[in-house]
A and B are shown apart, each in its own frame.
Chain A
Amino acid sequence: QQPVQSPQAVILREGEDAVINCSSSKALYSVHWYRQKHGEAPVFLMILLKGGEQKGHEKISASFNEKKQQSSLYLTASQLSYSGTYFCGTVSVAGTSYGKLTFGQGTILTVHP
């Protein structure tokens, strides 16, 4: 079962903030965030392990609420370089899904000058 991302698309002006959400119906061990620019391979942003930690990368940070099986990616003071498709990936706790990293459908982020 793949995670569900929202919104599907976001359009921003440079300097504005955005939040991308990711939710799963399964108990999660970890949440992974990647960004893919058009015509390129996905690039790693960060991993969050269960425990509710929040991590940051440049002006991009994320949180993980393991009780709700939800994660949010926060982009502050967006830059043109932030444009791309953001994917959340999840690893479930146990069972046949053990170790399987499944991605959501992606959120297309467009930043305009």
Chain B
Amino acid sequence: GAGVSQSPSNKVTEKGKDVELRCDPISGHTALYWYRQSLGQGLEFLIYFQGNSAPDKSGLPSDRFSAERTGGSVSTLTIQRTQQEDSAVYLCASSSLGGANTGELFFGEGSRLTVL
């Protein structure tokens, strides 16, 4: 079966442009997470969805970041007016269980964003 799919795999953009990153989770997985990983750094929590709802948006770095999930499936992370410090690998992960019972996360290969 297909794993978590992310697109684009690589995105180079100019400062000030908007970008959209897409995540297609494993079918049937109710929980979906977005993380950011800067070069050589850890996994920074951005947002978590349970179904289409986002119980915790506290990790979004600024109001330039937003995310949505539709149909309990595909999620889009949007970054408006990109800045150089937004350059990182954006990882999406899904799980069949969420909430306190969050189980194994299956990660996608990530979208590498470079802001010039």
Contacts A44-B105, A105-B42, A106-B42 given; does A99 touch B35 at CB 8 Å: no
B: contact size bracket: 20 to 34
Contacts A103-B42, A103-B43 given; does A98 touch B100 at CB 8 Å: yes
Count residues of A near B (Cβ-Cβ below 8 Å).
Answer: 26
- Verify if B109 is at the interface (C-beta below 8 Å from A): yes
Assess the B50–A99 pair: CB atoms within 8 A: yes
Contacts A41-B108, A41-B109, A44-B105 given; does A99 touch B43 at CB 8 Å: no
- Tell me the minimal C-beta distance from B33 to chain A in angstroms: 7
Q: Mark A42-80, 1 if CB is under 8 A from B, else 0.
A: 111001000000000000000000000000000000000
Assess the A102–B104 pair: CB atoms within 8 A: no
With a cutoff of 8 Å between Cβ atoms, the chain A residues found around residue B56 in the complex are 96-100
Q: CB < 8 Å: which of A34, A93, A100 contacts B45? A: A100
- Verify if A29 is at the interface (C-beta below 8 Å from B): yes
- Tell me the minimal C-beta distance from A66 to chain B in angstroms: 14
Question: Would you list which residues of chain A between 11 and 60 have a CB under 8 Å from chain B?
Answer: 29-30, 32, 34, 40-44, 47
**Within the assembled complex, what's the spacing in Å between the Cα atoms of A96 and B56?**
7
With a cutoff of 8 Å between Cβ atoms, the chain B residues found around residue A102 in the complex are 45
Q: Mark A73-113, 1 if CB is under 8 A from B, else 0.
A: 00000000000000101010100111111111110000000
**Within the assembled complex, what's the spacing in Å between the Cα atoms of A43 and B104?**
9
Assess the B98–A99 pair: CB atoms within 8 A: yes
Assess the A41–B91 pair: CB atoms within 8 A: yes
Q: Mark B98-112, 1 if CB is under 8 A from A, else 0.
A: 111011111111100
Assess the B100–A29 pair: CB atoms within 8 A: yes
- A interface list, Cβ under 8 A from B: 2, 29-30, 32, 34, 40-44, 47, 87, 89, 91, 93, 96-106
